[in-house]
Amino acid sequence: MTKPVLIKICGNTSVEDALMAERAGANYLGVIVEHAPSPRQVDLAQAQRIRAAVSLPVVAVTVNLPLERLLHIHEVMQPAAFQLHGDESPELVRQLKTHGITVWGVASGDTAFVRQRALDLSEAGADVIQVDARHESANGTIYGGTGQISDWQLARELVERGLRINLAGGLTPENVAEAINTVQPWMVDVVSGVEARKGVKDGEKVRKFIENAALIPSSSA
């Protein structure tokens, strides 16, 4: 059975952008919480304001935060899920699951690494696996939001293995339909592909992305 893929608009920094994405038809929103290297990060107070302003589920995207801080963020913000976007261990996934928290793991990097990490995170109990791209630079690792396209064939392989895949990495209004046709993911996830500038959404790009994604059914949705 096929139905429209779910759509997550991530990297929201303002209530206005979040409400715009909600009106445009997004299914999930994402906020990057307490990750200073990202121009799209917000503090916990702003993340809470965004979550309170919308009716959609809001995912807290975090990078390499310790368990204690994640539990505090969960208590204050009450996100729908944590998206662990750094190098977090499968053990951290297990610990969060013992607290009844929904966890989305992220696998990014070269093909062999992504395949094994996706399987390890899934085995640890991650509810969703996001396949994404990452960029290594002289200033360190950039986790997502790079505009680089992830490995669609590997993502399709993981779908066929039965993993619930959120496809990210270089998606735009122009290529999202092809991506869904190729991968058949549970969800597609976009940041830079719908921005006017880093941290600020382009309303027309958001609407076009959602419109184009909604046209293509997915067997995993």
The CA–CA distances, whole Å, from 167 to 6, 20, 82, 132, 139 equal: 10, 22, 16, 7, 26
Closest listed residue to residue 7, CA positions, set 204, 211, 161: 211
Q: Name residues whose C-beta falls within 8 Å of residue 144's C-beta, 6 or more positions apart in sequence.
A: 61, 85, 106, 108, 132, 133, 134, 168, 169, 191
Closest listed residue to residue 56, CA positions, set 32, 17, 83, 29: 29
- Catalytic positions are 10, 132
